Amino acid sequence: TQLLEQSPQFLSIQEGENLTVYCNSSSVFSSLQWYRQEPGEGPVLLVTVVTGGEVKKLKRLTFQFGDARKDSSLHITAAQPGDTGLYLCAATPDSWGKLQFGAGTQVVVTP
Amino acid sequence: DTEVTQTPKHLVMGMTNKKSLKCEQHMGHRAMYWYKQKAKKPPELMFVYSYEKLSINESVPSRFSPECPNSSLLNLHLHALQPEDSALYLCASSRDLGGWGQETQYFGPGTRLLVL
């Protein structure tokens, strides 16, 4: 059973469209991370959210942490081909380093 | 600077070879990690080091042997690997293991390993 349920698994959109990726759990986390990964490369940290209800913006990317600190979303406005990649949410359910990942969302943005 | 470096970038080895993967960070992080990642899957945790001591071993076969010579370096020694061990091996580091963001992990670019 996946601790972090990520949806959708795959998204294919045209340049300029918006998209949202969801990361849900029944567990409470002290923080949650979003990463983007390209083939053959390591995951690149996009954001860490810590406070329930927190909203963080990174250019066209908006990240939200649920009030109860159990879920999060990533919204991309006016997607560009450079946004193509595997988006992973991740969190540590305890304090001992075992980072849990969602299954990932493969996003493809076509020109 | 949030850089974690890994060498080599690519490695091809036979099943009888011995090789090592290296990882380095200069962010003053006290926790370091090894992950294995297969195509189209999320990374799977292998080992966690905290303050240069092995903290977690996720029941990894003994043909993988981690080593933390100092707080900036992490090695993964490989011996008698199997073809199914072919994968992307990722190193990561974090400030600490504590919560509230301290445990945020920064990943290196990975070593693409092929076992023939």
- Minimum mean pLDDT among A4-13, B64-73, B102-111: which range? B102-111
Task: Say whether B107 and A42 touch across the interface (CB within 8 A).
Answer: yes
Instruction: Give chain A's radius of gyration (CA, Å).
Output: 13
Task: Judge contact between B77 and A73, C-beta under 8 A.
Answer: no
Q: What is the pLDDT of residue A33?
A: 95
Calculate mean pLDDT across residues A82-92: 94
Q: Which residue did the predictor score with more confidence, A98 or B59?
A: B59
pLDDT attached to residue B33: 96
Q: Which residue of B has its CA nearest to A50?
A: B100
Q: Do B107 and A99 touch (CB under 8 A)?
A: no
Residue A36, pLDDT > 80, answer: yes
The sign of the CA dihedral A38, A43, A45, A48 is positive
Looking at residue A97, its pLDDT comes to 61
pLDDT confidence of residue A53: 95
Q: Could you tell me which of A102, A57, A105 has the C-alpha nearest to residue A84? A: A105
A56-86 pLDDT, tens per residue? 999 999 999 999 999 999 999 999 999 999 9
What's the pLDDT at A3? 85
Q: Token pair of A64, please? A: 């939200």
Predicted confidence band at A49 (pLDDT cuts at 50, 70, 90)?
very high
Q: How many CB atoms lie within 10 A of CB B83?
A: 9
Which residues in chain A (77-106) have CB-CB distances under 8 A to chain B?
A: 88, 90, 92, 95-99, 101-104, 106
Tens digits of per-residue pLDDT, B5-23?
Answer: 999 999 999 998 999 999 9
Q: Which of A47, A95, A106, A107 to mutate to test the interface with B (most CBs of B within 10 A)?
A: A95
Write down the mean pLDDT value for chain A. Answer: 93
- Predicted local confidence at residue B3, as pLDDT: 92
